Amino acid sequence: MEVIDTGQKVYSRSESLTKVTTHYCPGCTHGVAHRIIAEVLDEMKIREKTIGVAPVGCSVFAYNYFNCDFVEAAHGRAPAMATGIKRVLPSRIVFTYQGDGDLASIGMAEIMHAAARGENLTVIFINNAIYGMTGGQMAPTTLPGQRTTSSPSGRDIEQTGYPIKMAELISVMDGTSYSVRRSLHDPNNIRKSKKAVRMAFEVQKRELGFAMVELLSSCPTNWGFSASESLEWIEHNMLPVFPIGDYKNIEPVKNIKY
Amino acid sequence: MARELLKGNIAIAEAAVRAGLEAYFGYPITPQTELLEWMSHRMPELGRAFLQAESEVAAINMVYGAACTGARVMSSSSSPGISLMMEGLSYIAGTELPVVLVDVVRGGPGLGNIAPSQGDYNQIVHGGGHGDYFNIVLAPSSVQEAIDLTVLAFDLAEQYRSIVIVMADGNIGQMMEPAELPPMRSIKKVYPEWAVRGAESREKRILSSIYMNPEDEEITNLRLLERWRIVQRNEIRHKDYFLDDAEIIVIGYGTAGRIAYSAVRAARAEGIPAGLFRPVTLSPFPGGVIGNLTDRASAFLVIEMNTGQMLDDVKMYVNGKVPVEFYGRLGGVVPFPDEILAEIRRVSIGQISPDGDPRAGWIERLKKTVNRTGEGI
């Protein structure tokens, strides 16, 4: 392979990331999501006024990886905790980073009411259709027929119902200004994901209300696939159930220029 | 400040406002709701944060977040709502944050009723949430004391980075009596060195209750315990009435203590040498003081609006040196002074539970009082 040395540094650690090795499994897209958020904080120059709220789940240690103030919530309660912070410090940028078990199962009340209130929060929702931290159990976003350690014969919709589509659900709340779904399965979609994350922070900066970006993510370890197979699984299996799209994007948000 | 006629819940709310409260998060539940309602207009009018949460679970987690900023924050609820808050309280304890909570206790278990009770004693005094931690618990017996203890609660919470619970009951929350509010304190301008408020020109800060390494969690548990031992040394509070020459010492807190005071005065009018010991801090518990009273007491009589939850704590400190008798009303029923006076008379003529089980005789006597239908007991 030809090495091109232009003498220019083309890639470095974001200022908003700490010099810490993450605990994430090889091939997991949490790292990509972290990097996207950190780049946005850098580009918007808001690192020093940002407070993150970490969830319970695989990203429970997110507070170690971001170079900004952080708190660690109880399972599912990140939107409530973020609300408490934002109401006391409305001039700060407050975001939650939550997985599907945290946000769409145990924390359903907190996320829906934060959206209904139009809290000026940015929510990054990582949907990998499984409980990662506890070793691969069925999540509220697990696909019909998907095998997990608690749905060993595949998710039976007769018994356990259907995956919950959060970007769509959040979009119908009047307090929501921005609710979109993106995917992290290839470079093109990663770039689009970053644009959406940037927009979700721009919405908060302008005090336009509640903003959420759902990011389809991989879990090679618990899905039982290789890293590249996992990305293909997102494309072929998750996208038909969780279509990429802008589910809510109010006019003032559409008009945001940065 | 002049004395004015104030309802307990509103007096507590306004006392908190004047103590420099920056944010209130709560959820409606009887008999506490007036506290939330007062905050709903008072806090916005002062430019401070008020939010009615979607549940007590959310409310306490909003308190958790707001407390991370170093601000003075609080919530209030009543028994079933307090149960829901136990998750958040454990996290707050584990993160070592100052938080004030008011529990206007009602009859239980379950949905129970909305009448005054002290049935939450064990849940509040002996923990409630999971893990090793301690709450400071203050028990007012009047509207004035509720005001004073609410102000104290914020100072203690910050001094010890602790949860402080004002354990009132439906009676204290709902009744009106003359009381004096404290002067308005300004919102603090300096925030503690641990507060998470954005990492502007400083290193980032993290607030968390996670210690993945058991040795680190052990150190944290030890730190909380050592802090608690300082609280035990410095913050025990109680009110003593006629104890100088008392032989029968009645022990009661909150509304039960206040009613017992009337009974003790009536007993003394009859020439019975009775006195009252009223714990103000239920935690730290004034057990050592009670232990010292065994030198002069011939018997103790514990009065509660529950099945004898504090009774067990009293017995531990009395340690069998003198008899400990008990009288309680349950399920939201408030005892009358006459009932307690009858108990003082009984103890004064030496009718003591022979087997050292004060509940046995009490249950039989109470059955005669409450058995209206002859069924269901």
Residue B373's pLDDT is 57
How far apart, in whole angstroms, are the C-alpha atoms of residue A92 and residue A101?
Answer: 27
* Contact residues on chain A for B65, CB-CB shorter than 8 A: 53, 71, 73, 80-85
Q: Please tell me whether residues B321 and B262 are part of one structural domain.
A: yes
Q: Please tell me whether residues B217 and B93 are part of one structural domain.
A: yes
Given B218, B234, B250, the domain boundary residue is B234
* Contact residues on chain B for A18, CB-CB shorter than 8 A: 204
Q: Please tell me whether residues B124 and B249 are part of one structural domain.
A: no
What are A78-115's pLDDT values in tens digits? 999 999 999 999 999 999 999 999 999 999 999 999 99
What are B280-323's pLDDT values in tens digits? 999 999 999 999 999 999 999 999 999 999 999 999 999 999 99
- DSSP 8-state assignment for residue B241: E
CA angle B296, B302, B307 (to 5 degrees): 155
Contact B64 A88 (CB under 8 A): no
What are B326-352's pLDDT values in tens digits? 999 999 999 999 999 999 999 999 888
How far apart, in whole angstroms, are the C-alpha atoms of residue B49 and residue B76?
Answer: 15
Environment class of residue B316 by beta-carbon count within 10 Å: exposed (0-12), middle (13-18) or buried (19+)? middle
Nearest chain B Cα distance for residue A234, angstroms: 32
Q: Please tell me whether residues B193 and B206 are part of one structural domain.
A: yes
| Torsion angles phi and psi, residue B148, rounded to 5 | -65, -40
A5 pLDDT above the threshold of 90: no
Of B51, B88, B209, the CB nearest to A83: B51
Q: Please tell me whether residues B170 and B250 are part of one structural domain.
A: no
- Spatial neighbors of A142 by CB under 8 A, at least 6 apart, are A129, A130, A148, A151, A155, A163
Q: Please tell me whether residues B216 and B294 are part of one structural domain.
A: no
How far apart, in whole angstroms, are the C-alpha atoms of residue B64 and residue A74?
Answer: 10
What are A206-256's pLDDT values in tens digits? 999 999 999 999 999 999 999 999 999 999 999 999 999 999 999 999 999
Q: Please tell me whether residues B196 and B59 are part of one structural domain.
A: yes
Give the confidence band of A135 by pLDDT, cuts at 50, 70, 90. very high
Q: Please tell me whether residues B76 and B224 are part of one structural domain.
A: yes
- Spatial neighbors of B214 by CB under 8 A, at least 6 apart, are none
The reply to whether B340 falls in a domain is: yes
* Contact residues on chain B for A14, CB-CB shorter than 8 A: none
Given B207, B234, B261, the domain boundary residue is B234
- Percent of residues, chain A, with pLDDT higher than 70: 100
Residue B60's pLDDT is 98
Given B234, B261, B284, the domain boundary residue is B234
Q: Please tell me whether residues B320 and B256 are part of one structural domain.
A: yes
| Domain encompassing residue B293 | 239-370
Residue B371's pLDDT is 67
Q: pLDDT under 70 in chain B at which residues? A: 1, 371-377
Residue B57's pLDDT is 98
Six token digits for residue A76: 């599912």
The reply to whether B377 falls in a domain is: no
Residue B359 maps to which CATH number?
Answer: 3.40.50.920
Contact B88 A109 (CB under 8 A): no
Task: DSSP for B48-112, please give it.
Answer: -EEEE-SSHHHHHHHHHHHHHTT--EEEEE-HHHHHHHHHHHHHHHHHT--EEEEEEEBS-STT-
Q: What is the mean pLDDT of chain A?
A: 97
The reply to whether B197 falls in a domain is: yes
Nearest chain B Cα distance for residue A155, angstroms: 30
Q: Please tell me whether residues B312 and B193 are part of one structural domain.
A: no
**Segment 99-158 of chain A within 8 Å of chain B by CB:** 109-110, 113
How far apart, in whole angstroms, are the C-alpha atoms of residue B217 and residue B163?
Answer: 19
Residue B376's pLDDT is 52
Residue B226 maps to which CATH number?
Answer: 3.40.50.970
The reply to whether B250 falls in a domain is: yes
CA angle A248, A252, A257 (to 5 degrees): 110
The CA distances from residue A47 to A39, B71, B180, in Å, are 10, 22, 47
* Strand ranges across the sheet with B23-26: B49-52, B23-26, B73-77, B99-105, B163-169, B136-138, B281-283
Environment class of residue B77 by beta-carbon count within 10 Å: exposed (0-12), middle (13-18) or buried (19+)? buried
Domains of chain A, CATH where assigned: 30-254 (3.40.50.970)
Q: Please tell me whether residues B317 and B244 are part of one structural domain.
A: yes
Q: Please tell me whether residues B314 and B247 are part of one structural domain.
A: yes
The reply to whether B155 falls in a domain is: yes
Give the confidence band of A163 by pLDDT, cuts at 50, 70, 90. very high
Of B58, B63, B204, the CB nearest to A110: B58
What is the total count of domains within chain B? Answer: 2
Of A66, A74, A85, the CB nearest to B69: A85
Residue B128's pLDDT is 87
A3 pLDDT above the threshold of 80: no
The residues that bridge with B74 in the sheet, in sequence order, are: B24, B100
The reply to whether B376 falls in a domain is: no
* Residue A182 near residue A192, CB atoms below 8 Å: yes
Residue A65's pLDDT is 98
**Segment 32-61 of chain A within 8 Å of chain B by CB:** 47-51, 53-54, 60
The reply to whether B181 falls in a domain is: yes
Contact A73 B61 (CB under 8 A): yes
The reply to whether B101 falls in a domain is: yes
How far apart, in whole angstroms, are the C-alpha atoms of residue B29 and residue B77?
Answer: 6
A26 pLDDT above the threshold of 70: yes
- Closest residue in chain B to residue A107, using alpha carbons only: B58
Q: Is the dihedral of CA B298, B303, B308, B310 positive or negative?
A: negative
3-state secondary structure of A94: strand
Residue B377's pLDDT is 53
